[in-house]
Amino acid sequence: MSSTVAAKRAFPAIKQVDAGLLNVGYAEVGPAGGKPVILLHGWPYDIHSFVDVAPILAAVGYRVIVPYLRGYGTTRFLSADTLRNGEQGAVAMDAIALMDALKLPKAIVAGFDWGARTADIVAAAWPERCKALVSVSGYLIGSQAAGITPLPPRAELQWWYQYYFATERGRFGYQKNTREFNRLIWQLASPKWNFDDETYDRSAAAFDNPDHVDVVIHNYRWRLGLAEGELQYHDLETKLAQGPNISIPAITLEGDANGAPHADPSAYAKKFTGKYAHRTIEGGVGHNLPQEAPQALADAIIEVDSY
């Protein structure tokens, strides 16, 4: 499907629900009684990464829920006093809080980038809440300790923006040039994806969220140990720092033209101890796999549900 056609597709009216620390904006597609699937986007993207995945799943009976992460779209913090925290544990707890608010005891979870990390954490830390997992780019659970370990120079180069964000110049630059910056990330992360202005602008509206810059900067500074987390996530982060295995049924996906930092599938395969498969999606598919290859993600979700 061309990006022009994709840009014309839209979600129904966005719903809002109080969940944990947030009032979460989310799209919902499919029958209310369908098996729930939660689709989680990453940075710097938004719910429209799944705008073509959701109707495919809804057509075969799934209830598809696509939330804006903290700092994106219509999701807002309930209190002005809450730290605009981007650490992995906080974002994962948001997903559990959303499931609780929507009274979903269990769901299939899938995502990419920050969303894949969140889905991985839900699967590892709350396996009883997770029917199955589809994770783009595999096992992404990390820790501050791991973030201290240097990578080979070529790998470090791919993380240039993380070091930019570590400076106040970087914070100011991202705040001043958010849309231009994130468009550059889209181009670098998906070098063969010829998205158009309409497609980008539709997602870029989500970056106008008043908490977006604070959450993003905190996320990348936290990874390098340059920003503190919060005590309420300490126990979870301690568990995640052990690199817990994922025992539920899982499929990992990778695009053959992913320009963002990512590990070879062989590096994380042993982290998935339940029924597991990996698929490399060919055809010049980059980092934003759900939007570039929506049928492949939908197929993986349907497949893993059968495991």
Q: Is the pLDDT of residue 1 over 80?
A: no
pLDDT digits (tens, 9 = 90+) for 119-148: 999 999 999 999 999 999 999 999 999 888
Tell me the average pLDDT across 24-48. Answer: 98
| Secondary structure string (H, E, C) spanning the chain | CCHHHHHHCCCCCCEEEEECCEEEEEEEECCCCCEEEEEECCCCCCHHHHCCHHHHHHHCCEEEEEECCCCCCCCEECCCCCCCCCCHHHHHHHHHHHHHHCCCCCEEEEECCHHHHHHHHHHHHCHHHEEEEEEECCCCCCCHHHHHCCCCHHHHHHCHHHHHHCCHHHHHHHHHCHHHHHHHHHHHHCCCCCCCHHHHHHHHHHHHCCCHHHHHHHHHHHHCCCCCCCHHHHHHHHHHCCCCCECCCEEEEEECCCCCCCCCHHHCHHHECCCEEEEEECCCCCCCHHHHCHHHHHHHHHHHHCC
* pLDDT class of 7 with cuts at 50, 70, 90: very low
What is the pLDDT at residue 36?
98
What is the pLDDT at residue 6?
43
Measure the CA–CA gap between 188 and 185, rounded to whole angstroms: 5
In this structure, is the dihedral angle defined by the CA atoms of residues 277, 281, 287 and 292, taken in order, positive or negative? Answer: negative
Percent of the chain past pLDDT 90, that is, above it, reads 95
* pLDDT class of 107 with cuts at 50, 70, 90: very high
Measure the CA–CA gap between 10 and 2, rounded to whole angstroms: 15
CB within 8 Å of 38: residues ≥ 6 apart: 65, 66, 67, 95, 98, 99, 104, 107, 108, 109, 110, 119
pLDDT digits (tens, 9 = 90+) for 278-294: 999 999 999 999 999 99
Tell me the average pLDDT across 16-45. Answer: 98
* Domain 3-305: CATH class, spelled out: alpha beta
* pLDDT class of 47 with cuts at 50, 70, 90: very high
Tell me the average pLDDT across 30-56. Answer: 98
What is the pLDDT at residue 62?
98
In this structure, is the dihedral angle defined by the CA atoms of residues 78, 26, 91 and 285, taken in order, positive or negative? Answer: negative
Scan for tokens 């930092």, then name that residue: 261
Q: Is the pLDDT of residue 79 over 70?
A: yes
pLDDT digits (tens, 9 = 90+) for 169-188: 999 999 999 999 999 999 99
pLDDT digits (tens, 9 = 90+) for 141-168: 999 998 888 999 999 999 999 999 999 9
Q: What is the CA radius of gyration of the chain?
A: 18
* pLDDT class of 9 with cuts at 50, 70, 90: confident
Can you give the residue ranges of every domain in the chain?
3-305
How many other CB atoms are found less than 10 A from the CB of residue 108?
A: 24
Q: Is the pLDDT of residue 222 over 50?
A: yes
Average confidence score pLDDT of the chain = 96
